[in-house]
Amino acid sequence: MAATWTSHFQDKLPDILAELRTYVEMETPTHDKEAVDRLGEYIAGRFRSLGCKVDVIPQTTYGNQLRVEYGEGDEQIMVLGHFDTVKEVGTLKSEPWKIEDGRVYGPGTYDMKAGIVFCYYALKTIVEQNIPLKSKLVFFWNTDEEIGSESSEKWIREEARRSTCALVIEPAAGDGSLKTSRKGGGEFVLKVTGRAAHAGNDHALGVNAIEEIAHHVLAIQSFTDYEAGTTLSVGTIRGGSVSNVVPDYAEADIDVRISTSEEAERITTLMNQLTPILPGAQLTVEGGITKPPMERTAGTEQLFLHAQAQAQLEGFNLTERGVGGTSDGNFAADEGTLTLDGLGPVGDGAHASHEHVVIDAIPGRIAVLLRLFSSL
Ligand SMILES: [Zn+2]
C-alpha cells in the first residue's frame, strides 16, 4: 500500500486527466439525448470493466440514467452525480480542453465530470487492491440535473430511501469546503390579466395589468428575509404591447430560495394568497418550490466529521460550508438520508467560460473518496 492514498493517486494523475479529457470531449448538454447517451454508454462500460452491475434506466426525453452497483450486503451508500452540462455541443471550440498553471479547463470539468472520474479511480483502486467495503456502493449518474432532475428525481429519492447516506460528488465550494447545507428553491410565475383600452380615449375603462403587477412585484420582493435565509427575486417581467393601449396582460418570473421547510411553507402560502389590488384585475400564481432545502442536522455533522477525519489521515484539512445553490443532494436529504455534498473537484467557474479544476487537489480528493467508500 502507498504511504498515503494521495501519493498513490498522484502517480496516476496522467491517466486520471486522460480519462477526464475523454469525458469532456464528449459534450453533453442536457437537452441533447443522443450526445448524453454517447457518454453514458462510455461511462457504463468503464464501470462494468471494474465488475460493477450497471442498470441503464431508459428515458425518452433526456439521457438514460445509470445506476451502478458494486459490492454486497443489505446496507448501501449512495453516490450521486450527473454528467449532463449546461454547455452546448461545439463549446469546445471556444473553450477547449487545456492545462495551464496547474488547472485543467474545459466544459463540464468542474461541474461535474471530474467527480465521476474521481469515483471511477477510487473504485478501481478498491477493486485492484481488494479493499474490503462495509456497505454496498450504489452510484447514480444522472443526466438531467442541470434542468432540475425532471426525469430522475423519483429514482434519486427511491435510491436515497434505501441508503444509509448519500455522498454527492458535486464540485466543492471555492476553498475546497464540503457542502453540509443547501438552500431549497423554485420558481413562481405570476400572471396578471387586466382590461385593454385606448390609453387616450378610454383610460378610465382600462385595467392596467402592468400597474397591477407593479404592486405585487414590491410585495413579493418584501417577502425576502435574509436572516431566515429566504430570498425572492423577480427576475423577468413582461407585459403590454404598445404605449397607447392600456395593457391587459403582464407576467413575472420569480426565483425563490429558502433554508428551511417552514420558510418554504410560509412563502408558498404568501404567494398563493396574493389578491388583486385594482378592481377588475385577475391573478394566477403558477409554479412553486420544487427543491426542498438540504438542512444541516446533527447526523450531517457526524458524517462531515468522519470525512474530515479521512482527510486528516491524508494530511490535509477539510472544512464545511452552507451554500445557496441546489443539487440532487436536496432530494436525498428530503428523504431523511444523511447527505454530504461537494465531495467532487476543487476549482471554479461552473457554467462559465473559465470553468476549471485545480490539478494539485485531485489526488487528495480521490483518496478521501476511497476512504469514505470503504469506511461507511
Ligand atoms: Zn452540477
236-246 residue pLDDT tens: 999 999 999 99
Q: How far is the CA of 297 from the centre of ligand 1 (A)?
A: 23
- Cα-to-centroid distance, 281 and ligand 1 (Å): 41
For residue 26, report the distance from its CA to the centre of ligand 1, in Å: 17
**Per-residue pLDDT tens digits for 32-59:** 999 999 999 999 999 999 999 999 999 9
Per the prediction, the chain carries an average pLDDT of 96
Handedness of CA 41, 350, 106, 95 (dihedral sign): positive
For ligand 1, the distance from its centroid to the CA atom of residue 114, given in whole angstroms, is 11
- From residue 287, alpha-carbon distances to 197, 255, 293, 311 in Å are 30, 10, 17, 41
pLDDT at 2 over 90: no
- How far is residue 93's CA from residue 345's CA, in Å, rounded to a whole number? 23
Residue 174: pLDDT band (50, 70, 90) is confident
What per-residue confidence (pLDDT) applies to 331? Answer: 96
d(CA 367, CA 361): 10
pLDDT higher than threshold 70 for residue 27: yes
- Cα of 115 from ligand 1 centre, angstroms: 10
| pLDDT tens by residue, 140-173 | 999 999 999 999 999 999 999 999 999 999 999 9
Q: Taking a C-beta distance cutoff of 8 angstroms, is the pair 310, 321 a contact? A: no
- Determine the distance separating the centroid of ligand 1 and the alpha carbon of 228, expressed in angstroms: 25
From the list 171, 154, 160, 64, the residue with the least C-alpha distance to 113 is 171
CA of 318 to the centre of ligand 1 (A): 20
Cell digits of residue 59: 428515458
Q: How far is the CA of 6 from the centre of ligand 1 (A)?
A: 24
Handedness of CA 347, 16, 109, 146 (dihedral sign): negative
pLDDT at 65: 97
Q: What 3-state DSSP class applies to 29?
A: strand
CA of 80 to the centre of ligand 1 (A): 10
Residue 149 CA to ligand 1 center (angstroms) comes to 11
Least confident interval from 83-87, 146-150, 195-199, 278-282: 146-150
In the prediction, which pLDDT does 38 show? 98
- For the domain made up of 184-291, the CATH class stated in words is alpha beta
For residue 112, the CA-to-ligand 1 centroid distance in Å is 5
> Which tens digits make up the pLDDT trace of 268-297?
999 999 999 999 999 999 999 999 999 999
At the top level of CATH, the class of 5-183+294-375 is alpha beta
How many angstroms does the Cα of residue 350 sit away from the middle of ligand 1? 8
Task: Provide the grid cell at 129.
Answer: 487492491
Say how many Å lie between the CA of residue 111 and the centre of ligand 1.
5
**278 Cα: distance to centroid of ligand 1 (angstroms):** 43
From ligand 1's centre to the CA of 327, what distance in Å? 7
Please answer whether residues 121 and 127 qualify as being in contact, where contact means their C-beta atoms are separated by less than 8 angstroms: no
Query: How many Å lie between the centroid of ligand 1 and the Cα of residue 239?
Result: 34
* Cross-strand bridge partners of residue 11: none
* Å from CA of 163 to ligand 1 middle: 21
- CA 144–ligand 1 middle distance (angstroms): 10
Domain boundaries, the chain: 5-183+294-375, 184-291
90 C-alpha to center of ligand 1: Å? Answer: 20
Give distance in angstroms: CA of 110 to centre of ligand 1.
Answer: 8
Cis upstream peptide for 112 (omega within 30°): yes
Distance CA 139, CA 166 (A): 10
